[in-house]
Structure 1
């Protein structure tokens, strides 16, 4: 499987043929003292060079309850119903664990995937993009060609530095007036 650097919107689905009691060992990354990745069985099974784990999902199909894998693909991942329709029987029959890898997991790094056991590729699906619909702008002023004359805005009439200087000089005067007022009241 080839992943291009410009890939966007693809969802790769794999069956994970690992018993539930061994899934944590399959998912876990083992790092060395220096923080370098020593082993990651999931990485080794998928055969990738770069993967952002924030964009992969590993879960048992039973967690989806009534929705099922087909429903999750459509409602949860945004795959068009027509795209999963031909695989719906295979998706509905899927038991055990599945791995979902989104295009964003590759973060624009071109690479080749060479999945091997315990992974079994089920399919690659495209996220359904929202249809683009152009409507005319409602205001009459939005119609017609744009003016080619440049408009120059007038410069502000006050200098902000001068305003700040006057405010700083006025503070002691305000403090004296307030102090005199409080002295007169007490």
Structure 2
């Protein structure tokens, strides 16, 4: 299973065939760096923050496919076709969005106790942006000779005021300490 470095908007689902008491040890990266989940995936790079382990009994009456549709915005014909298989699973699943692979090109060699269930594309939302009509959008706003250098002068004035305020504050503090002592 190939992961492209440029991959975005893809979610992979794996069934985890382990007893409930072994799931946490398998899916949690140890302080030593040992991580059975990463080894079973054959992954070179895996980001723990993006690994989601779902105990299916925690979903209650909600079907796994409904959870994935709502939590990961999955849809489309491939996902719809996989709904019966997803909803028939029991135990635990591992959900890995593209971010879990940290934009690292790699080939997964999935091994037991993992079983690949499906790879699903998140829908791409295209939003038409209104054209920008400002001077900055046209690239004509940068300090022209018309402003006479006022923008730079304004920055110098602010710096001078800041220095003056600091000097006045330090002076007042020194006077206050001198009078009190």
TM-score band w.r.t. shorter chain = 0.7 to 0.9
> Greater helix share, 1 or 2?
2
RMSD: 3.3
Evaluate the alpha carbon distance shift between residue 163 and residue 66 of structure 1 in structure 2; reply closer, same or farther with a 3 A threshold.
Answer: same
Contact 2:29–2:48 (CA under 8 A) maintained in structure 1:
no
Aligned mates of 1:61, 1:103 — CA distance in 2:
22
Task: Identify the match of residue 155 of structure 1 among 149, 152, 170.
Answer: 149
Evaluate the alpha carbon distance shift between residue 155 and residue 76 of structure 1 in structure 2; reply closer, same or farther with a 3 A threshold.
Answer: same
Evaluate the alpha carbon distance shift between residue 41 and residue 132 of structure 1 in structure 2; reply closer, same or farther with a 3 A threshold.
Answer: same
Aligned residues: 165
Q: Is 1:29 the counterpart of 2:29 in the alignment?
A: yes
Matches within 5 A, 1:159-170: 160=157
Contact 1:74–1:81 (CA under 8 A) maintained in structure 2:
no
Q: TM-score, normalised by structure 2?
A: 0.74
Matches within 5 A, 1:9-20: 9-20=9-20
2:50 maps to what in 1? 55
Aligned mates of 1:163, 1:44 — CA distance in 2:
60
1:93 maps to what in 2? 88
Secondary structure, counterpart of 1:87 in structure 2:
helix
Task: Identify the match of residue 109 of structure 1 among 82, 87, 104.
Answer: 104
Q: TM-score, normalised by structure 1?
A: 0.72
* Unpaired runs of at least 5, structure 1: 173-186
Deviation at 1:69, TM superposition (A): 1.1
2:75 maps to what in 1? 80
Deviation at 1:87, TM superposition (A): 0.8
Matches within 5 A, 1:113-132: 113-132=108-127
Aligned mates of 2:115, 2:66 — CA distance in 1:
20
Deviation at 1:40, TM superposition (A): 1.9
* Unpaired runs of at least 5, structure 2: 172-181
Aligned mates of 2:111, 2:97 — CA distance in 1:
18
Aligned mates of 1:54, 1:93 — CA distance in 2:
27
Aligned mates of 2:21, 2:139 — CA distance in 1:
69
Secondary structure, counterpart of 1:62 in structure 2:
helix
Deviation at 1:88, TM superposition (A): 1.0
Secondary structure, counterpart of 1:13 in structure 2:
strand
